[in-house]
Chains A and B, each alone.
Chain A
Amino acid sequence: MRLLLLLTWPLLFGCNLDPQPLLQNYQDGEFVPADVVDLDLEESPPELGDNEPFIGNLGPSDVGGGHTSGATLTISGTGERVCVIVDPQSVFRDDLQLAGDGDEYWNPFMDDFPHDDGDIDLQAGLAAFYTGTPGVELGDFFGSFPDSNGVDRAVDLNLCLMNDLHGIAGGTAGRGTPEWCSFETQADVDYRIVLRVFSVPVDDDELTYALQILDGECPGNINECTLRGDYDYREGLEDIIPDGFSTVEHLYCDGLE
């Protein structure tokens, strides 16, 4: 009995019950501050009508703790509809490109771990209703008003409405999957587009994304390959990805053509 206790004792010390390492913004023993980017201050900020997507990077969020990384961009309304598309790293179901032995954790066809998807949620609305501070703290479009009975009511003024699987507004796409929406704008009125980081790839805790803002309604068939460039580049991939493809996205989108 005593021997059993003696053997069990060191095992208990081996149990690490500290949950902090599970948080994506906990790195090297400390919390990483939220990465809030004001895209308006970029040297070449994304603009309405750009032909090519803007490629950016964002750090991790602690969603439960309210420390949200993300980016904001201001556009001027045209009096018509505008479409916003964001595609977070990398490719949805990239495990379809598993190595022949089925190894999920090292795969020569991938530019990093197979589970390298990130998740960005998209919001947009009148800049005047935005509650955050660009470059400092991410906000939302929630407002409140006292109703006729004197009760304070909350109202979400986010114009970027996406339906969930059941047709109810307020849905978001999952990891690695593009999100998009279009909304009516008033001419010469500022609108703020908000990218909220929900999760980052586990391999490097950094999320690459592609963003494009278009005039009019969104295209009818937006998928993983609509915006290109939402991946991490690593040298030497050309030598291990077959058929001359240089990235997994390239292989995924063009490999079957």
Chain B
Amino acid sequence: MSGKRLLAVFAVLALLVGCEEEEIEQNNLDGTLVLDGALVDEVFDGDARKIGMVYIGIFEDFDPEQLGYPYPSTGPRVGDQPIGDALPYGGTSIGVYSYGCYRALACNMLTGRYPSLEDVLEVNPIELEDGEMVSAETMYDQCTWYYGWNAIEEFSFVGQDDLDFQKNDDGDYEASFRAWHGRTPPGARIWAFADNDFTSCSPDQGVVNRRYGDDLNFFREGTNYADVLNFPDKYVTDGDFISSEPPTLEADKLDGYEVRIDYLKD
């Protein structure tokens, strides 16, 4: 064996020694979220573009009694906290807050909801200081300036192929999800809610402005608060959708779960 080959073998052996199984029980959990079409019809007149950010969490158990609406079970209430921490094992979301190139759209827009810029502006019309309404062309120019995007395919918040929800034969809206790297003990429950009024978005957090506007003001693009799955009750408000019968995790089953959102908080 030549010196170079020997060196390569030693290098690989050294790398292998560096691999260590930490034995942390974490798994990816896959499933489908089904949003009752009747709720979308009732609240949004059938317009799925207006569905808020859907938070999906894996929780110890389910407690429909504590707050008077479907809610995960919680840990002990500590100090002045109004309720205990729901102590999620893990979770994910369907859609994320996205900055729509105009300050007026901060904390008002999600990914996976709009097929085109025209759709964005139909749901979120923007009026400029001179009274002119922003057109799709103007928004395209604004976004290419703000983000440096060069083609509509680069726009992270529009695209027919990027829509999260698809309407199924029953008239409900389906979206697949994957909750990455969570604990998945048998008996845990998958609970979800849709924050339809963006209560969970913090305008003072998120990415710092990539460009300055004419006012030269510093701002942030907005993102979700860090404790949404720990204290969902802080963000669940009237008009939000909630799952009332969260599925239970089974042993050795990490996919195929259906989480149905079918309860309107009012």
Contact in complex: B89, A160 (CB < 8 Å): no
| Interchain CB contact (< 8 A) of B85 among A149, A155, A158, A166 | A155
Is A5 in the interface zone, CB < 8 Å from B? no
| Interchain CB contact (< 8 A) of B204 among A148, A149, A150, A165 | A165
Given known A151-B89, A168-B227, contact A161–B60 (CB-CB < 8 A): no
Given known A150-B185, A166-B204, A168-B225, contact A158–B60 (CB-CB < 8 A): no
Is B61 in the interface zone, CB < 8 Å from A? yes
In the bound complex, residues from chain A placing their C-beta under 8 Å from that of B87 are 147, 153, 155
Is A159 in the interface zone, CB < 8 Å from B? yes
Is B79 in the interface zone, CB < 8 Å from A? yes
| Interchain CB contact (< 8 A) of B79 among A151, A153, A160, A166 | A160
| Interchain CB contact (< 8 A) of B75 among A149, A153, A158, A159 | A153
User: What separation, in Å, do the CA atoms of A153 and B60 have in the docked complex?
Assistant: 10
Is A183 in the interface zone, CB < 8 Å from B? yes
CB distance from A222 to the nearest CB of B (A): 17
Q: Mark B204-243, 1 if CB is under 8 A from A, else 0.
A: 1100000000000000000001110000000000000000
Contact in complex: A149, B60 (CB < 8 Å): yes
User: What separation, in Å, do the CA atoms of A147 and B75 have in the docked complex?
Assistant: 9
Is B54 in the interface zone, CB < 8 Å from A? no
Contact in complex: A161, B202 (CB < 8 Å): no
Is B76 in the interface zone, CB < 8 Å from A? yes
Is B188 in the interface zone, CB < 8 Å from A? yes
Is B260 in the interface zone, CB < 8 Å from A? no
CB distance from B60 to the nearest CB of A (A): 5
CB distance from B104 to the nearest CB of A (A): 21
User: What separation, in Å, do the CA atoms of A159 and B78 have in the docked complex?
Assistant: 6
User: What separation, in Å, do the CA atoms of A153 and B76 have in the docked complex?
Assistant: 11
Contact in complex: B185, A149 (CB < 8 Å): yes
User: What separation, in Å, do the CA atoms of A157 and B226 have in the docked complex?
Assistant: 20
A29-59 interface with B by 8 A CB criterion: none
Contact in complex: B60, A166 (CB < 8 Å): no
Identify whether the interface residues of A are mostly helix, strand, loop, or mixed.
loop
Contact in complex: A166, B202 (CB < 8 Å): yes
Contact in complex: A158, B204 (CB < 8 Å): no
In the bound complex, residues from chain A placing their C-beta under 8 Å from that of B227 are 168
Most chain A beta-carbon contacts within 10 A, residue among B80, B205, B225: B80
User: What separation, in Å, do the CA atoms of A165 and B202 have in the docked complex?
Assistant: 11
Contact in complex: B81, A149 (CB < 8 Å): no
Given known A149-B60, A166-B204, contact A155–B75 (CB-CB < 8 A): yes
Q: Mark A83-109, 1 if CB is under 8 A from B, else 0.
A: 000000000000000000000000000
Q: Mark B58-102, 1 if CB is under 8 A from A, else 0.
A: 001100000000000001101111000101010000000000000
Is B186 in the interface zone, CB < 8 Å from A? yes
Given known A159-B78, A168-B225, contact A151–B204 (CB-CB < 8 A): no
User: What separation, in Å, do the CA atoms of A149 and B61 have in the docked complex?
Assistant: 9
In the bound complex, residues from chain B placing their C-beta under 8 Å from that of A149 are 60-61, 185-188
Is B50 in the interface zone, CB < 8 Å from A? no
| Interchain CB contact (< 8 A) of B81 among A147, A161, A166 | A161
Is A23 in the interface zone, CB < 8 Å from B? no
Is A169 in the interface zone, CB < 8 Å from B? yes
In the bound complex, residues from chain B placing their C-beta under 8 Å from that of A153 are 60, 75, 87
Contact in complex: B225, A151 (CB < 8 Å): no
Contact in complex: B226, A183 (CB < 8 Å): no
- Apart from A148-B60, A161-B78, A161-B81, what 8 extra A-B contacts exist at CB < 8 Å? A148-B187, A149-B61, A149-B188, A151-B183, A155-B76, A159-B78, A166-B226, A169-B81
Please give the residue numbers on chain B whose beta carbons come within 8 Å of chain A beta carbons, in ascending order. Answer: 60-61, 75-76, 78-81, 85, 87, 89, 183, 185-188, 202, 204-205, 225-227
Write 15 A-B pairs (CB below 8 A) sorted by A numbering: A148-B187, A149-B187, A151-B60, A151-B183, A151-B185, A153-B75, A155-B76, A155-B85, A159-B78, A159-B79, A161-B79, A166-B204, A168-B227, A169-B81, A184-B80
Please give the residue numbers on chain A whose beta carbons come within 8 Å of chain B beta carbons, in ascending order. Answer: 147-151, 153, 155-161, 165-166, 168-169, 183-184
Closest 6 CB pairs of A and B: A149-B185, A159-B79, A149-B187, A147-B60, A161-B79, A151-B185
